[in-house]
Structure 1
């Protein structure tokens, strides 16, 4: 049986099953569903936990070690949670056999939790069907634009908040499909809202006060070609106590996405189709189009490499001022004449 992650969370109240598969590109929903399984396990007295994943240069976990773990008795508790992490979503022939054999005769003292960050209809097979027979499969398919307001509204209610439909739509438009950003904004609202139903004006005021210089607007300013705004926002973020490593995740993600779009455009691919493949919302597409007009594809690759240098500087692995190098990078993204500033 295939469920939505939220349905799986509700189902856990009736007790744990022997195996769970939680997969999909919507990382927040995968993480929260997996956390719910862990919490349910703790509530039932399961304190022992094992994690199996690929290590070093290996592309797959050690399947022999996993099979041996299934067969071994628990050392410290009556039951244990065994986690298997499959970032690519495919266990291969050997892994599929180990999982299927577990499902054919699940040990009474083991609950198996498999998580994957990538999933499609082609990823499944006999192994995932076996999990579905004895447990549950939850897939976090991408939230469609028309589904996001309902998702936001449910999350607001779960945090004890109420908002009218226009206010919900305003927040949906702001986050543009980024569930993590939406969750962060809702958490801020839970702290800052003063009761009552949030209307558009109140939603806008609270969100604006909570994130005057957030990283989402920073990357938009760079891609939109607004160098002065980039400098102001970076100064604001720094003054508010933000750290460079906390900003780089979104910066690198946006640069990598733009570089991929630039490569597609350079080879003559249909950009509209590429936007759909990248799950770029209609409202965000003009931002990327403007950015692509300012720089050729090789330069976007250079920007990604330079972001990696910022990361090394921020972590103390290379000399330099991480804030200064990050500012130069984003100014170069925003203004072609500033590209020379980004050169090491």
Structure 2
């Protein structure tokens, strides 16, 4: 059994006051972004959104532990990590409105979000090995949910990393649900962290609702990876909302939720704020400023996304193949003809 690491277990936590405040501010930014994105989706502003409420401490703590030169291989629920790593809010909003994922010109070492479950895991291993071959002194972090551990890509990626000592951190954010399937219905192992043993390297669990513990644990894991050893971190958190805005969690959640310990389902933002107030790290002024700054940033991001240039529909067909195939050529001609007769700003497909 792996012990769940919390901040009280870390005797040498080196997070100072400013870093703790930065963790808190990024959690507020992530929470307010999630709330605004869900509200925007509900009024038809974008087609869908994967909420991550309840997972802010896990994602922000992990992202802030990464160095700028480290590479993140994310999945679709990684928006809090993306924001913390420097991806503009407007980019994420525009991506959800059909634009290229990294719309603006910015320099962040993030690969595209992977929606196909688990496929980023072997990608991260291969990239980590390639960078190691050329002597690059940084690590790679593959972010995925507990549902991905039921995919073959998870096992293949970890096996390859173990055999070839790939400098990669496997960061599994266990929010206890793979859509409507609880973790115990996916695997008979007591923990996900212990699965690392089968592949010849270390696995650890951390309290994913404690950003300081996540920050320290992932910092240590990245140091392990940079030293040439892969490692699996299981961050125990809880998805408070739906799997996506197309999901109704009330149909499957209540009975299972009552079986979980209180720390697992506690709100990480409230818990962190309470702790930091007790440590005299934040007060009313810091809290109010964090919320006001996040709201102002969001207002600007939404306005920027709404004012972004409407892309040429022909861009849908670019870069699919070197030479456009006959079926795609026919589809492009149909779309051109359709748009000639309709306002492209109001087209519904």
Report if TM-score (shorter chain) is over 0.5.
no
RCO higher in 1 or 2 (8 Å CA, sep ≥ 6)?
A: 2
Q: TM-score, normalised by structure 1?
A: 0.35
Higher helix share: 1
Which structure has the bigger radius of gyration?
1
Q: TM-score when scaled to structure 2?
A: 0.34
